[in-house]
Amino acid sequence: MNDRVAERTIADFGQQWTAYRDNSGYYGSLELLRDMFGPLLSPEDLAGRRVLEIGSGTGRIAAMLLAAGVAHVTAVEPSPAFDVLRENLQPHADRVTFLRLTGDAVPPGADVDFVFSIGVLHHIPDPDPVVREVADLEVDGGALDAGAAEVDAEGKVGHLPTVTSRGCS
């Protein structure tokens, strides 16, 4: 993949999240988190857990997870929005590790129960390295099963790799 495209994508999102910092109201609420996860996972299931979030942006999802009672969030954000992320999550800084790096550079051995990357993978020009990195993490007591689809401008559906606890396919 063209590194310039990846760098530009990171820069563009950094610019957006630096300009649009606010996560108030329903947009940043526990209610929205509940609506996003639906019957798959309740906020109560997250209480006391350790979470890795890839592509944290302004900290919107991380703040929702913290409001759900997550014990600790490792927030990964490569863009200039990293400073906004730190600012927005400052009230919870004792429960957050901030990493300014890309999702494919997450240090091995992360001690987590869940990994989230909500609304991010489909924006990464080459998501395979990120998906493979997450697949290599040992998530305590859990299995990894994730997939995503994207629709191009002509309405054609393409699928990103499906990941299971046994690796990428």
Q: CB 16: neighbour CB atoms within 10 A?
A: 13
The tokens describing 69, both together, are 């009672």
The angle at the Cα of 8, spanning 112 to 4, to the nearest 5 degrees, equals 100
Superfamily of domain 3-144 in CATH is: Vaccinia Virus protein VP39 (3.40.50.150)
The pLDDT tens digits for 62-98 are 999 999 999 999 999 999 999 999 999 999 999 999 9
Amino acid at 16: Q
**For residues 16 and 164, which has the higher predicted lDDT (pLDDT)?**
16
Instruction: Domain ranges for the chain, please list them.
Output: 3-144
Whether residue 29 is predicted with pLDDT greater than 90 in this model: the reply is yes
Does the pTM surpass 0.95? The reply is: no
The pLDDT tens digits for 147-158 are 554 445 555 545
